[in-house]
Amino acid sequence: MKTGGQLIVDTLKANGVERLFCVPGESYLAVLDALVDSDVGITVCRQEGGAAMMADAWGRLTGKPGICFVTRGPGATNATAGLHIARQDSIPLILFIGQVQRDAREREAFQEVEYRRALTEFAKWVGEIDDPTRIPEFVNRAFSVAMSGRPGPVVLSLPEDVLREVVANPPAEILPNPVAAIRPGAPEMKDLAERISRAERPVMILGGTRWTEQAVRQIERFAERAQLPVGCSFRRQMLFDHLHPCYAGDVGIGINPALADEIRMSDLVLLIGGRFSEMPSSGYTLLDVPFPAQPLIHVHADAGELGRVYRPTLAINADPASFAEALSTLEVDTTPARAERTANMHGAYLTWSTPPETGPGDVHMGPIIDWLRDYLPDDAILTNGAGNYATWVHRYVRFRNFATQAAPACGSMGYGVPAAVAAKQAFPQRLVVAFAGDGCFMMHGQEFATAVQHKLPIIVVVVNNSMYGTIRMHQERDYPGRVSATDLTNPDFSALARAYGGHGETVVTTAEFAPAFERARASGIPAIIEVKLDREAITPTRTLTQISGTGVKP
């Protein structure tokens, strides 16, 4: 005999779950009880949004669904921030929500929400388990849906009494569902080879999920053989070695204008894994919708994404790993002219990704990023949320290896700290550095307490300019001199770190950063480095005054 809660845990273990993220609640006490006798690790979080973001980061970095448990009502609605990230970024995640007991439903019972109605826009599938004997069926299905086709989040609602109910004859063994590989067809690959051989100005763009380290290396070797310039979609930079001679730069917000021109003038765009949605496509300006001017080959694991926005010249329904395997055996022709163009595009990337040495104020982010590029090991994991500070990371950091970046392409703030917690638990031997703005940090910075509790020595770099910088930038551009709702009064972040039981540093000049970082790392405990940045240093190349156009310092 087993309770529903025990069956939940058994099915998680059968699917290879090593760790889950949660904020506890009385609605799923039976699961918490079953976890006492399990070897599944539990990360106790401080807010459900942070827990869901940790689950997203786990799925993003491992390829396996991140698991999150929250209680009903406010707990579930808090978690929707992480659900939204996973949905837009195609990340496998399973959110389990404790629910009111079955005989109280449809009465607006305490904290009751009908999740099958409320969360359908946030998830690939929302289900509720009414019968404890069906728990293995539902949970296995959740894993299949989360990882198949275009990956994404799944929600399962768990009525409290279902979890307590005893199943007299539980299954003797629970077997996980296999996830089917989606392999490209031979005719499509033959057509692809011919098109690449004929192309004079091709470009390859990598994005999406369902990648593996082996697939990334196979793409790198093929690009070198075919002399194809390669760009990485917005915040998917870990999909290609930035110092590889074929790398051309990141494709998305703040794209190198030279790379944008190359994409627009290309005679063959090979888009692998990504959807090329609004941010990666620079606001749908790189490819015309719905009929691109360039011949487009779109490779995606979800057939429903092929032709959804752009009409491809050749559509290939395949997951990135299977496609990379097939591509690795493809023979194509190349020319000296194509090799020269690829080399020139890589050279342009190196110039574009060289940070400026100076700027307004006493702290200059350019030399700081330059120092970090030399100091950080190639397998260090960098996380961040959203804000202008993140430009310094996604433009100037040169990613070398797979599974080294966790950042929301959907642009959600507050992601960096919880993502760093999950990254450090997934890869405890690797250095994990989170970047956050002051506004970004305060949204889920309480998860620094989670890092302290679980003894996870992450390093958080808080770039503090005492405002919501991105919104202020847009405000000064569109409504110059009319500041509204963007100024912030912040705590002493280094003192906050110490109050939590971590290590704290404050940086007010550029020269102070390197020794502060080294002390933070040597401390062996979670650390916050507050970098006090001048408000004028709103972007790497333009000041706030220049953006406002008023000639008066805002």
CA–CA gap between residue 235 and residue 384 (Å, rounded):
10
How many other C-beta atoms are found inside a 10 Å radius of the C-beta of residue 511?
A: 13
Give strand pairing partners of 268: 202
Per-residue confidence (pLDDT) for residue 481, from 0 to 100: 87
C-alpha 383/C-alpha 436 separation (Å) is 9
What pLDDT is stored for residue 258 in this prediction?
97
Other beta carbons within 10 angstroms of residue 416's beta carbon come to 36
- Show the tokens assigned to 91: 């990340």
Residue 33, pLDDT score? 97
Is the CATH number 3.40.50.1220 carried by domain 186-351? Answer: yes
Any bridge partners for residue 231, and if so which? 205, 249
Give the distance, in angstroms, between the CA of residue 521 and the centroid of all CA atoms in the same chain.
Answer: 24
The rounded Cα 232 to chain-centroid distance in angstroms is 14
Q: How far apart are CA 453 and CA 462, in angstroms?
A: 20
> Domain map of the chain by residue range?
2-167, 186-351, 365-548
- Give CA–CA dist 105/204, Å, rounded: 52
Q: What is the pLDDT along the chain (554 residues), one digit of tens a residue?
A: 999 999 999 999 999 999 999 999 999 999 999 999 999 999 999 999 999 999 999 999 999 999 999 999 999 999 999 999 999 999 999 999 999 998 988 898 888 899 999 999 999 999 999 999 999 999 999 999 999 999 999 999 999 999 999 999 999 999 999 999 999 999 999 999 999 999 999 999 999 999 999 999 999 999 999 999 999 999 999 999 999 999 999 999 899 999 999 999 999 999 999 999 999 999 999 999 999 999 999 999 999 999 999 999 999 999 999 999 999 999 999 989 999 999 999 999 999 999 999 999 999 999 999 999 999 999 999 999 999 999 999 999 999 999 999 999 998 999 999 999 999 999 999 999 999 999 999 999 999 999 999 999 999 999 999 999 999 999 999 999 899 999 999 999 999 999 999 999 999 999 999 999 999 999 999 999 999 999 999 999 999 999 987 666 66
CA distance 224 to 545: 44
DSSP assignment string, 514-530: HHHHHHHHHH-S-EEEE
CATH architecture of 365-548: 3-Layer(aba) Sandwich (3.40)
Instruction: Tell me how far apart the alpha carbons of residues 472 and 544 are, in angstroms, rounded to a whole number.
Output: 9
pLDDT at residue 111, as a whole number:
86
Q: Do domains 186-351 and 365-548 have the same CATH topology?
A: yes
CATH number of 2-167: 3.40.50.970
Q: Are 44 and 451 in contact (CB under 8 A)?
A: no
Enclosing H/E stretch for 391: helix 390-396
DSSP state for residue 532 in the 8-state scheme: E
